Structure 1
Amino acid sequence: MPKLGMEPVRKRQLIDAAIETLCRYGWHETTVVRIGQQAGLSPGIIHHYFAGKDDLLAAAMRRILVEFRHEVTGRLAVASGPRDRLQAVIEGCFAPSQFRPEICAAWLAFWAQAPFAPELDRLRRIYINRLRSTVLAELRRLLPEEQALLAVLSLASLIDGLFLRAASGDTRVTPEIARGLATGHLDQLLTGRARVH
């Protein structure tokens, strides 16, 4: 039986190990045994804290989403004006803590598994809705409604696509390149050069 007070420590160890294992092996080759080996713990301890691999991925994504929210809201707090606030979202998305291989790999597994796991799907909807509402609120201050609605879809798709591209092993997609591409796309949307209709 685990020692009293060890639960948060063990859970963090296992979540870290799951993220590392996903990055190394991918979803299908990530097993409870491999996660246990990565954490230096027996597979039995994993089942003490988590129902299985899906449950562990959900816990990992909850933590990633909290950290992502902190990156974005911290930048939004010091941004002034809608254009700066949109840039703050982009900077938060591609912050070094977020845009690294193991986190990108977790996002790839998350997107692939969300349609088949209710808790992952719930987290996916929360992420999509929060990003959309944050970005759309600022775009509505800069663009007509119809353009703003299409622009938020375009920008969110680019952000997610850059994460998935990085997760697939494209080493050209660095945080700096990703920020630059997203910023350039935003500028095109705001000046009407990007086709969104």
Structure 2
Amino acid sequence: MPRIGMEPLRRKALVDATLRTIGQQGSLDVTMSEIAREAGVSPALAHHYFGSKQQLLVATIRSLLARLRTDAVAALENVETPRERLSAIIRVSFQADQFAPETVAAWLAFYVEAQRSEEVRRLLIIYARRLRSNLLDSLERLCPPDDAARIAEGVAAMIDGLYIRQSLRSAPIGSTASVTLTEDYLDLQLRPFLRQDEPGTLAPNPSHRRGE
């Protein structure tokens, strides 16, 4: 008989093992047996908890998204200005655990699966909309809505693009360099909407925010 309290631990172990196994192989062409072996449990137990590999894949994506959301909430707790909030969002996107080679490979495998699975596609759309919403919330305080939407799309595209570049392990781009590149793009896009109050500081230009 399974010990009480073991199910959540084994479910998490299987989700973590799925991420590692997919990341190591670079595709979703893995078996429940391989995942179970990585998690240190039997294939029968993996099927008992998740039913099928597809259900386990969905649970793994949900786990990634939940972790990303938790990290984003924590990162935004102690920031005040819209520009600081944007930097926090960028840093979370490239933090070490999310930008590890195996995690990046798993993300890309999930995007491929989204072409075939409506449920996986829906989860990834939720991620994309959440990122865009978080960016827009701060950008709309710094520039007109149309420009905020354009810049948000650009920042999101840079984040996605740098994940793809990271997957090319022959020439990976590190987390710090990725943050710097995205910040440089954001600074360039925001420059017309900010005024220089004093050396080293930037403040929103009220006339641009009102579209005047």
TM superposition score normalised by structure 2: 0.84
Partner of 1:53: 53
Aligned counterparts of 1:187 and 1:51: Cα–Cα separation in 2: 48
Q: Is the 8 A contact 2:165 2:172 kept in 1?
A: no
* 2-structure distance, mates of 1:24, 1:72: 26
CA positional deviation for 1:173: 1.1
Q: Distance in 2 between matches of 1:161 and 1:43?
A: 36
TM-superposed CA distance for 1:2, in Å, is: 3.6
Cross-structure match for 1:131: 131
The amino acid across from 1:42 in the alignment is: S
In structure 2, the residue matched to 1:101 is: 101
Q: Partners in 2 of 1:31 and 1:171 — Cα distance?
A: 29
Aligned position for 2:88: 88
- Aligned mates of 2:126, 2:9 — CA distance in 1: 26
Counterpart for residue 37 of structure 1: 37
Query: Residue 110 of structure 2 aligns to which amino acid in structure 1?
Result: F
Alignment match, 2:18: 18
CA distance in 2, matches of 1:16, 1:33: 14
In the alignment, the residues of structure 1 paired with residue 58 and residue 28 of structure 2 have an alpha-carbon distance, to the nearest angstrom, of: 16
The equivalent residue for 1:195 is none
2:154 paired with 1:154: yes
| Secondary structure, counterpart of 2:115 in structure 1 | helix
What is the letter of the counterpart of residue 174 of structure 2?
T
Residue 156 of structure 1: how far off its partner (Å): 0.4
Structure 1, gaps ≥5 residues long:
193-197
Alignment of 1:172-191 (within 5 A): 172-191=172-191
Partner of 1:79: 79
Q: What are the Cα deviations for residues 41-97 of structure 1, in whole angstroms up to 9, with x where unaligned?
A: 221111111132222121111111111112211121111211111001001111122
Kindly indicate whether the alpha-carbon contact (under 8 Å) linking 1:19 and 1:105 is maintained by their aligned counterparts in 2: no
Distance change >3 Å, CA 114–CA 172, structure 1 → 2: same
CA distance in 2, matches of 1:10, 1:64: 17
**Aligned in 2, Cα 1:100/1:29: closer, same or farther, shift over 3 Å?**
same
Deviation of the 1:8 alpha carbon: 0.5
The one-letter code sitting in structure 1 at the alignment partner of 2:14 is: L
Q: What count of residue pairs does the alignment treat as equivalent?
A: 192
Structure 1 position 28, deviation (Å)? 4.1
Q: What's the offset of the Cα at 1:102?
A: 2.0
Moved more, 104-113 or 84-93: 104-113
Matched-pair contact (CA < 8 Å) for 2:82–2:138: yes
Aligned CA distance change for structure 1 residues 2 and 105 (closer, same or farther; 3 Å): farther
**Which segment is superposed worse, 139-148 or 25-34?**
25-34
**Could you tell me the TM-score, scaled by structure 1's length?**
0.90
RMSD: 1.6
